[in-house]
Chains A and B, each alone.
Chain A
Amino acid sequence: MTSGLEDLLRELTPQVLAALVRRYGHFDTAEDAVQEALLAAARQWSAEGPPDNPKAWLITVASRRLTDLLRGESARQRRESTWILPEHYTPAPTTDDSLVLLFLCCHSSLSPSSQIALTLRAVGGLTTAEIARAFLVPESTMTRRISRAKQTIKASGVPFGLPADDRLPMVLHVLYLIFTEGYARDRAELATEAIRLARMVRRLRPDDAEVAGLLALLLLTDARRPARTGPNGEPVPMAEQDRTRWTAKDIAEGVDLITTALAQGPPGPYQLQAAIAAVHDEAPSYAETDWPQIVGPYELLRQISDNPVVDLNHAVAVAMVDGPRKGLALLDNRLDNDHRLHSVRAHLLEMAGDRTAARAAYREAARRATGLPQQRYLNARADRLAD
């Protein structure tokens, strides 16, 4: 399948599914029907080219398939469910269909891993096999996870509409999780998909500064991907990355987005993180980074969230501005089991000239790191400090 065709199908997936659910209900079965229609389209359109109206074609084929699937089901059982008329329910304008689907997939009754899997399939148009591959689990496991998620949504009886409470933060959180999963596992396709979905949400909510902030954060972080791992898969810390390999186009777009968003009012957490990422991305080198510009947003972040990783990064920034001793004094032992705390401690001790303590801290960090490349890197740092 050509990438043009794949892009077209991905873009149409949420629109076709939304059209079906809006018209006929049955989120769970409709989702299966749409997947089958997508497969049929991929086969037929590769050979013959897409029809004049691809969306109408997909809706027609998916509707027929839905009817067939329902026929099969109703022969086995009558479907009966309690219908509680929601008190606060705004019928969604059709332009927001993709967003309604995102709200459904990020429903609070689902676990984060189910939210991610369902979002990738129902909104992202990825096949179960593709999602399973990205998460390194067997396809049967992912199939079960997705069908359980759909059962949960069905049982919760949520109507197809915009929820009264603004669930946008939950949607943004799921997109952020998809991105960080991709980042942690080095699966570029997940990061790319998270960015694509964030762009979609931005089109639907162009005035929301946090949506812009999230998209900016993802772009500014992903821009460093080409430089963040070495030839043997080992992580390259930001201080040592070859900045000429960063993606300039993404940095420009991210900086643009975050600059506009920050002018809109008090920033939320994604905007603050994007602001920090922008300062890093625009610095010619690690040493020449505008560290005071990084301390500021970290301090605001610490006020709105209680996150030990934020505290850790804040300590690093303070050390770069006021010296390593100031940074060391801020380290928080809540992360004692996390190699990141020990890496940072080692790094700051090294900056302060305490080679012995630094070496011990690098060894400690290596002991707690889970990945082999990470362990190798930290042990090498410790070896470098041997007298």
Chain B
Amino acid sequence: MKYLILAYGSQRDYDAMAGRPTEGGPTWTPSDFEAMGVYMEKLNNDLAESGELVETRGLTAPVHARRLQLRDGVPVVTDGPYAETQEVLAGYWVVECDSYDRATEIAARLLKVPGPADYADAVIDIRPVAESRHEMDL
């Protein structure tokens, strides 16, 4: 079974990680960032070793996002469509594992990422992947 694990962050979180002082939030030092990198790398290596990692990617800052919508039938692009504090997709993992609970266990490690940020309100989503159109019919 494949699961998609989703992590979120706001532009402000990205700024903080880049060392930019943010209003009321923590500022990351290079060693904070390094520690997070080491933790993530360990997680990914563990998943690769167990054969459960299909793919994982981090996304660039939300300011680089483009949003495409129809306006009067014409596609219109909005650059950087998110508000500064809006939580948006920041990274994902596709894991292949035996059960939903195992995928949840993996996702739980993401909540233990070291760093100065306050994770009290952080959320991680886990979504079972549909393997085919027929599965969607069920």
Which residues of B lie under 8 Å from residue A83 when comparing CB positions? 68, 75-77
In the complex, whether A25 has a CB less than 8 A from a CB of chain B is yes
In contact, A79 and B79 (Cβ under 8 angstroms) = yes
In contact, A85 and B84 (Cβ under 8 angstroms) = no
> Shortest distance in angstroms between A153's beta carbon and chain B's nearest beta carbon?
15
Dominant secondary structure of chain B at its interface with chain A: mixed
Binding site for A on B (CB under 8 A): 11, 15, 18, 60-61, 63-64, 66, 68, 74-81, 84
In the complex, whether A306 has a CB less than 8 A from a CB of chain B is no
Given contact pairs A67-B60, A70-B80, A80-B76, enumerate 17 new A-B contacts (beta carbons under 8 Å): A24-B64, A26-B79, A67-B61, A67-B64, A70-B79, A71-B15, A74-B80, A75-B84, A78-B79, A78-B81, A79-B78, A80-B77, A80-B78, A81-B76, A81-B77, A83-B76, A83-B77
| List of 10 A-B pairs having minimum Cβ-Cβ separation, nearest first | A74-B80, A79-B79, A83-B77, A70-B63, A80-B78, A83-B75, A67-B61, A71-B63, A24-B64, A82-B76
Which residues of B lie under 8 Å from residue A82 when comparing CB positions? 74-77
Q: Which of A42-87 contact B (CB under 8 A)?
A: 64, 67, 70-71, 73-75, 78-85
In contact, A70 and B64 (Cβ under 8 angstroms) = yes
In contact, A78 and B66 (Cβ under 8 angstroms) = no
> Shortest distance in angstroms between B63's beta carbon and chain A's nearest beta carbon?
5
30 contacts between A and B (CB under 8 A): A24-B64, A25-B66, A25-B79, A26-B79, A64-B18, A67-B60, A67-B61, A67-B63, A70-B64, A70-B79, A71-B11, A71-B61, A74-B63, A78-B79, A78-B80, A79-B78, A79-B79, A79-B80, A80-B76, A80-B77, A80-B78, A80-B79, A81-B77, A81-B79, A82-B75, A82-B76, A82-B77, A83-B76, A84-B74, A85-B75
Which residues of B lie under 8 Å from residue A25 when comparing CB positions? 66, 79
Which residues of A lie under 8 Å from residue B80 when comparing CB positions? 70, 73-74, 78-79
Number of A interface residues in the complex (CB < 8 A): 18
Binding site for B on A (CB under 8 A): 24-26, 64, 67, 70-71, 73-75, 78-85
Residue of B nearest to A63 (CB): B60
Residue of A nearest to B11 (CB): A71
> Shortest distance in angstroms between A243's beta carbon and chain B's nearest beta carbon?
58
Which residues of B lie under 8 Å from residue A26 when comparing CB positions? 79
Which residues of B lie under 8 Å from residue A70 when comparing CB positions? 63-64, 79-80
Bound: A84/B70 CA distance, A: 11
